[in-house]
Amino acid sequence: MSDNPIVIVGAGQAGLQLADSLRRGGYDGKLLLVGEESSLPYQRPPLSKQYLAGDMADERLLFRPQEFYAKKNIDVIVGAVVRDIKPSKKTVTIGEETIEYSQLALTTGAAVRRLPVAGADGDGVFYLRSLEDAQKIKERLSSGSCRVVAVGGGFIGLEIAAAARELGQAVTVVEAQERLMARVVAPQVSDYYLNLHTSHGVDVRLNAGVREIERTSDQDMSVVLDDDRRIATDIVVVGIGSIPRTELAEAAGLACDNGIVVNEYAQTSDPSIVAAGDCTMHRNVRNDASLRLESVQNAVDQSKIAAANLLGERKPYDQVPWFWSDQFEAKLQMVGTSAGHDRTVLRGSLEDHAFSNFYFRNEQLIGVDSVNRPADHIVSRKLIAAGVAVPESIVVDVAANLKSLL
Amino acid sequence: MPKVNYVSHDGETQTVEVPIGWSVMEGAIQNDVSGIVAECGGGCACATCHVFVDPEWVAKVGERSSMEQDMLECTAQESTEQSRLSCQIKISEDCDGLVVRMPEQQT
């Protein structure tokens, strides 16, 4: 093996996992992890949840303390911009310095999608991706009365809405589609969350497109909707999805298509380069089509696959995807997918705020959305992975143990 | 700062100081104690931070919530009366000297 380091570009959850998995997998050569942000790798999920609403110190967000990197002999460069990758020469340019790599991993993540309307780049309009973004929003939410309009009724917009309500702020959610979290959950679950937010005093506007963000004076701003209605506010938080960070990969000539294209072994179109996490358009042997996932699960599991394959183990990506979202007292956990289901079976009760929707296609369990029933979620991951038959009689009977099916 | 003893499945003990208010899980992660995975980051949502609390400490670390109780039905290694999810144990002054044992498997 060459004396040059394995270089990991991107120091988020995927980058950290890749580095850790390489060491755990027995790689003892040079290892360099390069991140754009100034912090060591940290957890993003709490940024829109307990970090925003609570008193969580920044250091508690770190995945690992500084000493971990020294102990594992992982060189970390933070606050550094990778300018260029030359696969033909196997070089990467970090700031002004060009170094040679033995193998390269891209874990560049995603960037927020900007709201493409007039006024969306001015003061008082916030996006949430980084710790720095969260700090700015938190400062506004926790210093006196602050009206909030969340643009986007997906995970990020709704989690921020819930956190802001918990801090006593007046909150409006503006969603362009006819239901909340439409991309990820089935209609019944969207309805439940509409009621949840409404009952906590959030003003939810569905089928509402944003035309402009208007500033009438230094302090006063309004979100102008497509139908001319205006919502006066102090801040706007936009959560309308993200765009994979493919610019380096594209410039390097790697195949990209709404993400860095990787096969089931997390390999890009260059055999010396792997990619993992939010930035990839990937193959999972469970699916017919390629997909892009922005989640902790994908960052962790795909990075393990990428690391194994850098170490010469040929291991395909076959994990069942899962996600979660915390909003008010409701813990939403999703596994698999509800897309394409032909039958839904309910376990538990919506009135008790503890239920799971089981989705079937051709009698096969393909996904489960759970609210405040984490045990259903954990077992369902295994049920879907194993592909076992799941009888409706067991699902509807909350006294019946799902685990017995395994 | 309270000291927590993390005993690996092989019987090796790592003793670390954990700030009051943090969870036993965070104390492990921040000190690179292996044997606790915590893939959900502390949300009582994944059952991969399972520990066995030594008998004399069970009462001192407080009671399980009903959600934690359900999750303990689903741990990779069978749970016992001493089982807890370490993300749900908050460190207080009473926890100085706490002993938790890690299972062989978390996932």
What is d(CA A160, CA A47) in angstroms, rounded to the nearest whole number? 9
Please list every residue in chain A whose beta carbon sits closer than 8 Å to the beta carbon of residue B47.
374, 378
Alpha-carbon gap, residue A120 to A406, rounded angstroms: 51
* Mean pLDDT to the nearest integer, A3-19: 97
In this prediction the pTM is 0.94
- The answer to whether residue A210 sits within a structural domain is yes
User: Would you say residue A191 has pLDDT above 80?
Assistant: yes
A176/A240 Cα distance (integer angstroms): 10
Going edge to edge, which strands form the sheet with A235-238?
A: A125-127, A235-238, A148-151, A171-174, A203-205
pLDDT band at A219 (very low <50, low <70, confident <90, very high): confident
Q: Does A114 touch chain B (CB under 8 A)?
A: no
B29 within a domain of the structure (yes/no): yes
A67 and B CB contact within 8 Å: yes
> CA torsion angle for A203, A209, A213, A214 (degrees, to 10)?
-90
Q: What is the mean pLDDT of residues B18-37?
A: 91
Statement to judge: residues A164 and A225 lie in one domain: yes
Kindly provide the ipTM of the predicted complex, given to two decimals: 0.87
Contacts of A401 in chain B (CB under 8 A): 73
Nearest CA in chain A to B26: A60
Whether B7 maps to a domain, the answer reads: yes
Strands A230-233 and A221-225: antiparallel
Cα-trace Rg, chain B? 12
> Phi, psi (5° rounding) for residue B70?
-60, -40
The mean pLDDT value for A228-253 works out to: 97
Last residue of a domain, one of A213, A238, A263: A238
Tell the residue number behind the tokens 């963000």, with chain if given: A213
pLDDT (average), residues A11-26: 96
* Residue B26 placed within a domain: yes
User: How confident is residue A350, by pLDDT bands cut at 50, 70 and 90?
Assistant: very high
Same domain, A364 and A215: no
pLDDT digits (tens, 9 = 90+) for A262-295: 999 999 999 999 999 999 999 999 887 899 999 9
Q: Is residue A170 part of a domain?
A: yes
pLDDT at res. A170: 98
- Contact, B74 vs A403, CB < 8 A? yes
Give the nearest partner residue to A331 out of B22, B45, B47, using CB atoms: B45
Best to test chain B binding among A13, A60, A64 (most B CBs inside 10 Å): A60
Mean pLDDT taken over chain B: 92
Residues A97 and A145 both lie in one domain: no
| A220 and A123 part of one domain | yes
Q: B91 CB contacts (<8 Å, ≥6 apart)?
A: B2, B4, B18, B19, B20, B21, B22, B23, B24, B27, B98
A319 to chain B, any CB pair closer than 8 A? The answer is: no
A229 and A122 within one domain: yes
- Assess if residue B107 is contained within a domain: no
What is the distance between the alpha carbons of residues A231 and A149, in angstroms, rounded to a whole number?
A: 8
In a domain, B88, yes or no: yes
Q: Is A388 inside a domain boundary?
A: yes
Taking alpha carbons only, the member of A347, A291, A296, A338 closest to residue A179 is A338
Residue A2 has pLDDT above 90, yes or no: no
| Contact yes or no for A403 and B47 at CB 8 A | no
Q: pLDDT per residue over A155-185, tens digit each?
A: 999 999 999 999 999 999 999 999 999 988 9
For residue A324, being part of any structural domain is answered with: no
Domain containing residue B92: CATH number: 3.10.20.30
A303 touches chain B (CB under 8 A): no
What average pLDDT does range A211-237 have in this prediction? 92
Is B106 inside any structural domain? Answer: no
Domain boundary among A217, A238, A259: A238
Is A315 domain-assigned?
no
Residue A270 CB: number of other CB atoms within 10 A?
A: 18
Instruction: Please name the residue that has the structure tokens 């194993």.
Output: A386
Please check the confidence at residue B25 and state whether its pLDDT lies above 70.
yes
Same structural domain, A91 and A34 = yes
CATH number of the domain encompassing residue A234: 3.50.50.60
Question: What is the per-residue pLDDT for B9?
Answer: 93
Rounded to an integer, the average pLDDT of A127-138 is 97
Residue A374 lies in a domain: yes
Supply the pLDDT for residue B45: 78
> Is residue B63 within 8 angstroms of chain A, CB to CB?
no
Whether pLDDT at B8 is above 70: yes
Residue B4: predicted pLDDT: 97
Q: How many domains does chain B have?
A: 1
Structural tokens at position A148: 């909030």
- Residue B22 contacts A where some CB pair is shorter than 8 Å: yes
Tell me what the pLDDT averaged over chain A comes to.
Answer: 95
Place of tokens 């340019």: A93
pLDDT of A1: 55
Q: Does residue A191 share a domain with residue A217?
A: yes
**A193 phi and psi, to 5 degrees?**
-70, -30
Question: What's the CA gap between A357 and A368, in Å, rounded?
Answer: 5
Determine whether the interchain pair B30/A379 forms a contact, defined as Cβ–Cβ distance below 8 Å.
no
Q: Is there a domain that residue B81 lies in? A: yes
Q: How far is the C-alpha of A47 from the C-alpha of A30, rounded, in Å?
A: 32
Q: Pick from A67, A300, A331: which is nearest to B39 by CB?
A: A300
Interface check A321 vs B, CB under 8 A: no
B32 lies in some domain: yes
pLDDT for A398: 93
Whether A202 and A125 share a structural domain: yes
- Minimal Cα distance from A323: which residue of B? B40
For A173, the enclosing helix (H) or strand (E) is: strand A171-174
Which residue in B8, B29, B39, B35 sits closest to B105, CA to CA?
Answer: B35
Residue A270 exposure: Cα atoms within 13 Å on the Cβ side: 22
Residue pLDDT, tens place only, A65-108: 899 999 999 999 999 999 999 999 999 999 999 999 999 999 99
Q: Are residues A364 and A333 in the same domain?
A: yes
Instruction: Supply the Cα-derived Rg of chain A in whole angstroms.
Output: 22
What is the average pLDDT across A104-128? Answer: 96
Taking phi over 0 as left and psi of -120 to 50 as alpha, with beta for the rest, A389 belongs to beta
**Residues B21, B68 contacting (CB under 8 angstroms):** no
DSSP state letters, A87-133:
TTTTEEEETTEEEE-SEEEE---EEEPPP-SBTTTSTTEEE-SSHHH
Q: Give pLDDT, residue A287.
A: 83
Q: What is the C-alpha separation between B43 and B67, in angstroms, rounded?
A: 11
Closest Cβ–Cβ partner in B26, B43, B73 for A326: B43
Q: Name the residue range of residue B67's domain.
A: 3-101
Residue A124 is part of which domain span? 114-238
CA of A70: which chain B residue's CA is closest?
B32
- Selecting from B30, B40, B43 the residue whose C-beta is nearest the C-beta of A65 gives B30
Strands A6-9 and A103-106: parallel
Instruction: Mark yes or no for CB contact A46/B47 under 8 Å.
Output: no
Q: Look at residue A22 in the predicted model and tell me its pLDDT.
A: 98
Going by C-beta distance under 8 Å and a sequence separation of 6 or more, which residues neighbour residue A189?
Answer: A181, A332, A357, A369, A371
Residue of chain B whose Cα is closest to the Cα of A371:
B45
Rounded Cα distance, A277 and A297, in Å? 9
A105 and A126 belong to one structural domain = no
Report the pLDDT averaged over residues A252-262: 98
A12 in reach of chain B (CB within 8 A): no
How many domains in chain A? 3
Same domain? For A54 and A119 the reply is no
Q: What is the mean pLDDT of residues A371-391?
A: 94
Looking at the structure, do residues A182 and A272 belong to the same domain, yes or no? Answer: no
Query: Which residues, other chains included, contact A174 with Cβ-Cβ below 8 Å and sequence gap of 6+?
Result: A149, A150, A151, A152, A153, A205, A208, A210, A223, A225, A231
Under an 8 A CB cutoff, do A378 and B22 touch? Answer: no
Contacts of A160 (CB under 8 A, 6+ apart): A48, A52, A128, A137, A148, A150, A237, A239
Say how far apart CA A376 and CA A387 lie, in whole Å.
16
Quote the CA–CA distance of A278 and A300 in Å, as a whole number. 10
Tokens of A227: 């139908």
C-alpha distances (whole Å) from B37 to each of A5, A78, A199, A321 are 27, 25, 36, 18
Which CATH number belongs to the domain containing residue A395 in this structure? 3.30.390.30
Question: Average pLDDT in the B44-64 region?
Answer: 92
